[in-house]
Amino acid sequence: MSNWLRFVSTFVKSLCRSKISPLDESVTTYRVWITDADISLMNESRYLTIFEMGRLDLMIRSRFIWQLIKKRYFAPVASISIQFLRPVKRFQKVTLKTKICFWDERHIYLAQRIFVNEKMTTFALVRSLIKHGKEVLPLSAILKDLGYQDTPLPKPEYILAFEKSESLARDNFTA
């Protein structure tokens, strides 16, 4: 299935599904088509597309996307770390689970997991932003507009390790 068709399909299905809180987990399912696979395994670039569709579903069903559109905000991905645990084969049905796992004044962190037959095959940790022009906005402002109170949490150790590994890689490969 082409990226465009997958986007339209996810968008329409998400509009028809029940509303959720921005802090709830979004669960979507997809089929791995011939165009998603190399010889027999899902292509690495298609994982990024599937992850994007999970984030789209979460934004639509939580009404988050309408706040972005209304205020002309956008939510670019700043970085993503993917772990491939098991191969995903052509024609398999995959279940994607997407959840905001942490946020601070600058970034939103989402955990995304792909399952085949209830076994996790792929894990991604996504760091995103909310921007208006060049300005980075805190997620707490968007959540407040949606009627949710910002509950500051301590930054989990795995987020600290993620940030440190990104910083080390960036500093060592851009010098």
Superfamily of domain 3-173, CATH level 4: Hotdog Thioesterase (3.10.129.10)
In this predicted structure, the answer to whether residue 152 has a pLDDT above a threshold of 70 is no
Q: How confident is the model at residue 175 (pLDDT cuts 50, 70, 90)?
A: low
Helix (H, G, I), strand (E, B) or coil at 4: helix
pLDDT at 136 over 70: yes
Partners of 132 in beta bridges: 135
Report pLDDT for 153.
74
Decide: 145 and 66 in contact? Cβ < 8 Å.
no
Q: What pLDDT sits at residue 29?
A: 95
Tell me what pLDDT residue 6 has: 84
Q: How confident is the model over 6-26, as a mean pLDDT?
A: 91
pLDDT value of residue 174:
66
Domain residues of the chain, as ranges? 3-173
28-38 pLDDT tens trace: 999 999 888 88
pLDDT surpassing 70 at residue 150 = no
Which residues contact residue 140 at a Cβ distance below 8 angstroms, ignoring those fewer than 6 apart? 103, 105, 150
* pLDDT at residue 1, rounded to an integer: 61
